[in-house]
Amino acid sequence: MGSVRTQPGSVRPGGRTARVRAAVLRAAGDALVENGVHGLDLADVAFRAGVGKTTVYRRWSSVPGLVADLLDDMAEQSLPRSDTGSLLGDLTANARLVRTTLADPRQGVLFKAVIAAATCDARTAEALNRFYTTRVNEWAPCVEAAARRGEVPPDTDPHEVIRAVSAPLYYRLLASGDPLDEAAADRAAAAAAIAAREGAYARTER
């Protein structure tokens, strides 16, 4: 429905509108990293973006609205998928990519902030779901390949396996506070690979 995005439905998608969106989203990311969602002031974002605060309020209306648009923007920046020839290799590559992202001071804080925003606002939550669906879809093929190679049962749910790799890393980031080191990433990948091999992620029949 009424997405804030500029490209598709905008009446006048010309240069200025797109420039403003890019500048504001960039500024929003910076401000989010520095102050978190709670301390996000749209007037401050406007100032950083070199834009009038009225503009920010008019187009995004609120903090969750802005964060949701930021998420849609993030989803478009696709990350390269590895293909190492083995499921464990691919999952390890994925786990290390996720852990590097979350352990990065800037991106880690950004992800935390975005998840926090999603817990408050339904539209942001939908945007977050879209984001993760996109990411999981990008990596699902490596599980399908493993199924073709006979490494995992044919009824394995690829999405479930990919999610199983990320889940422990996000748990550390958000809940437990344990260090997000490479050992944790490798362990998450290994556990998911073993459980997948043993058929723990069989598609639920309905």
For DNA, the binding residues (CB under 7 A) are 10-17, 20, 41-43, 46, 50-55, 57-59, 61-63
Q: Does 80 bind a second copy (CB under 8 A)?
A: no
Distance from C-alpha of 49 to C-alpha of 23, rounded to nearest angstrom:
5
State which residue, 21 or 172, has the beta carbon closest to a second copy. 172
* Among the listed residues 28, 37, 56, 97, the single contact to a second copy using CB under 8 A: 37
Beta bridge partners of 141: none
* Among the listed residues 23, 115, 145, 147, the single contact to a second copy using CB under 8 A: 115
State which residue, 51 or 128, has the beta carbon closest to a second copy. 128
Q: Does 147 bind a second copy (CB under 8 A)?
A: no
Distance from C-alpha of 142 to C-alpha of 148, rounded to nearest angstrom:
10
Q: Does 33 bind a second copy (CB under 8 A)?
A: no
Q: Measured between alpha carbons, how far is residue 132 from residues 71, 93, 115, 135, 136 in Å?
A: 10, 17, 11, 5, 6
Least distance (Å) from DNA to the CB of residue 4?
10
Distance from C-alpha of 72 to C-alpha of 76, rounded to nearest angstrom:
7
Q: Measured between alpha carbons, how far is residue 120 from residues 94, 108, 109, 113, 206 in Å?
A: 29, 19, 17, 11, 32
Q: Does 194 bind a second copy (CB under 8 A)?
A: yes
CB count in 10 Å sphere of residue 98: 24
State which residue, 17 or 86, has the beta carbon closest to a second copy. 86
Residue in this structure with the two tokens 């749910």, named with its chain if needed: 157
Binding site for a second copy (CB under 8 A): 36-39, 63-64, 112-113, 115-121, 125-126, 128-129, 132-133, 136, 160, 163-164, 166-168, 170-171, 174-177, 183, 187, 190-192, 194-195, 198, 200-201, 204
